[in-house]
């Protein structure tokens, strides 16, 4: 006889999940605050996207296009893809969740890496499966460690390429070696949220690998270089069978109309993307050089953020620096939850913020930049 419970009880494992904590945005008592904690672009969105967003306000009584045709076609045209292989999501976060709910269940394992993006673990556990965490090497994904962790239960592997919060990347040859070593029924998820920023000859976002394999998907976002984080726009390029399976459980109107219109206008404005990428490249180099001059260590980054490591000395640790910077209005990201207890992640911000952080950290370290 089943015993009636006194209240609703979540499925086993749900209450073991640590909810995602977004980057902080406040600096109490400071007039001018620079949020450098969520890898948003300092250039903002394309004016064309802003116009499209405003125009969408005239039709708010109507349901959006449930297939997001305009956006999928615009993405397909810019990247040379078939729109049938593109699915859009309410941020790439939604797509990561849908993948887990379609391909994972109790008894399955999904491999993530030591410093991987925290949403993977949340979604794996949300689907009732078991996350298996493998070590990284020199703050970068280690393909051998992943392959060594594969078991008959492995049904998914998540890689952020480039990685967050490390900013490092895995060359395409290594991604191919990984795919070749995985079971054919395990999905390899290549999360390329920062792909637009990468300027390396041996990097590929994943388009080629998805095109030639049945078990690889690539996710992308409009929250970073496109400056549309507020609208929640992500997309996935995937084999037709995977798109078909996810379409069966996705919300019928998961993309809102302003997001569809603004996203399409944003992706068509590649000149704006180039401007953002050039600004970023200049500052990534300047920041790294300046912070190293004042005695800090910075992991080499191909993205729009840097991981700064602090001395293990009283008053000079990451938590002390975080407090010092916040008191001056510079809000960086603490990354203890990512396995870096003595580091901070800094997004490239507007010029005055970048200069301000360099100057403040120089003062903090007692050395001139």
Ligand X SMILES: Cc1ncc(COP(=O)(O)O)c(C=O)c1O
Q: What angle do CA 177, 183, 185 make, to 5 degrees?
A: 130
CA distance 166 to 178: 20
CB of 228 to ligand X, least distance (A): 9
CB of 287 to ligand X, least distance (A): 18
Q: Is 164 in the site for ligand X (CB under 6 A)?
A: yes
Q: Is 310 in the site for ligand X (CB under 6 A)?
A: no
- Shortest distance (Å) from residue 61 CB to ligand X: 27
Residue number with CB closer to ligand X (187 or 361): 187
Nearer to ligand X, 43 or 229 (CB): 229
Site string for ligand X, 114-153 (x = CB under 6 A): ---x------------------------------------
Nearest-angstrom CA–CA distance, 354 and 26: 18
CA-to-CA separations, 39 to 44, 177, 228, 258, in angstroms, rounded? 12, 30, 12, 22
User: In whole angstroms, how close is the CB of 327 to ligand X at the nearest point?
Assistant: 25
| 160 lies in the binding site for ligand X (CB under 6 A) | yes
Ordered DSSP codes for 49-78 = HHHHHHHHGGGTTSPP-TT-HHHHHHHHHH
Of residues 155 and 224, the one with the C-beta less far from ligand X = 224
Q: Residue 307 Cβ, how far from ligand X at the closest point, in Å?
A: 13
Question: What string marks each residue from 206 to 225 as x (binds ligand X by CB under 6 A) or -?
Answer: ---------------x-x--
Phi, psi of 130 (to 5 degrees): -110, 120
- The 41-80 site mask, x for binding ligand X (CB under 6 A), equals ----------------------------------------
CB nearer to ligand X: give 93 or 196.
93
- Nearest residue (CB) to ligand X, 39 versus 46: 39
Site string for ligand X, 75-104 (x = CB under 6 A): ----------------xxx-----------
Q: Using CB under 6 A, which of 108, 191, 204, 322 touches ligand X?
A: 191
Find how far residue 277's CA is from the centre of its chain: 17
CB 70 within 8 A of CB 260: yes
Whether 264 and 88 have beta carbons less than 8 Å apart is answered as: no
In the complex, least distance from residue 232 CB atom to ligand X, rounded to whole angstroms: 6
Buried/exposed code over 319-351 (b: 16+ C-beta within 10 A; e: otherwise): eebbebbbebbbbbbbbeebbbebbbbbbbbbe
What is the closest distance, in whole angstroms, from the C-beta atom of residue 119 to ligand X in the complex?
A: 6
By CB under 6 A, residue 154 contacts ligand X = no
d(CA 217, CA 55): 33
CB of 234 to ligand X, least distance (A): 4
Q: Which CB, 215 or 223, lies closer to ligand X?
A: 223
Alpha helices in the chain (DSSP H): 47-56, 69-79, 92-103, 118-126, 143-149, 172-181, 207-211, 240-247, 257-268, 270-293, 318-327, 351-365
Q: How far apart are CA 233 and CA 178, in angstroms?
A: 28
Greatest alpha-carbon pair distance for the chain in Å reads 74
Phi then psi for 139, rounded to 5 degrees? 65, 25
Tell me how far apart the alpha carbons of residues 331 and 33 are, in angstroms, rounded to a whole number.
7
Count of residues near ligand X by CB under 6 A: 13
H or E segment to which residue 331 belongs = strand 330-331
Nearer to ligand X, 311 or 339 (CB): 339
* Min separation Cβ 173 and ligand X, Å: 21
* Residue 168 binds to ligand X (criterion: CB under 6 A): no
Binding site for ligand X (CB under 6 A): 39, 91-93, 117, 160, 164, 191, 193, 221, 223, 229, 234
């Amino acid at each position: 006889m089943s015993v009636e419970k006194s209240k609703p009880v979540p499925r086993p494992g749900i209450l073991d999940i640590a909810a995602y904590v977004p980057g902080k945005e406040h600096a109490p008592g400071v007039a001018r605050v620079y949020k450098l904690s969520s890898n948003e672009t300092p250039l903002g969105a394309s004016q064309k996207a802003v116009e499209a967003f405003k125009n969408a306000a005239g039709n708010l009584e109507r349901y959006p296009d449930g297939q997001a045709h305009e956006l999928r076609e615009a993405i397909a045209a810019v990247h040379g893809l078939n729109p049938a292989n593109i699915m859009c999501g309410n941020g790439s976060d939604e797509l990561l969740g849908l993948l887990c709910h379609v391909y994972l269940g109790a008894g399955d394992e999904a491999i993530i890496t030591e410093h991987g993006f925290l949403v993977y673990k949340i979604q794996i556990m949300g689907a009732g499966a078991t996350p298996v965490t493998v070590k990284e090497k020199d703050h970068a994904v280690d393909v051998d460690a992943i392959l060594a962790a594969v078991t008959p239960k492995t049904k998914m592997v998540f890689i952020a390429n480039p990685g967050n919060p490390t900013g490092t990347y895995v060359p395409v040859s290594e991604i191919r070696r990984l795919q070749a070593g995985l079971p054919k029924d395990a999905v390899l998820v290549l999360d390329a949220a920062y792909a637009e920023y990468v300027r390396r000859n041996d990097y590929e976002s994943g388009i080629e690998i998805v095109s030639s394999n049945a078990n690889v998907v690539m996710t992308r976002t409009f929250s970073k270089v496109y400056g549309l984080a507020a609208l929640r726009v992500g997309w996935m390029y995937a084999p037709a069978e995977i798109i078909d399976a996810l379409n069966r459980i996705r919300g019928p109107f998961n993309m809102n109309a302003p997001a569809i219109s603004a996203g399409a206008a944003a992706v068509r404005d590649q000149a704006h993307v180039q401007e953002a990428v050039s600004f970023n490249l200049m500052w990534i180099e300047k920041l790294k050089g300046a912070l190293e001059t004042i005695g800090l260590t910075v992991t080499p980054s191909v993205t729009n953020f840097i991981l700064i490591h602090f001395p293990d000395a009283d008053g000079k640790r990451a938590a002390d620096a975080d407090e010092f910077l916040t008191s001056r209005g510079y809000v960086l990201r603490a990354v203890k939850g990512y396995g870096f207890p003595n580091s901070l992640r800094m997004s490239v911000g507007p010029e005055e913020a970048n200069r301000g952080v360099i100057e403040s950290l120089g003062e903090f370290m007692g050395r001139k930049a």
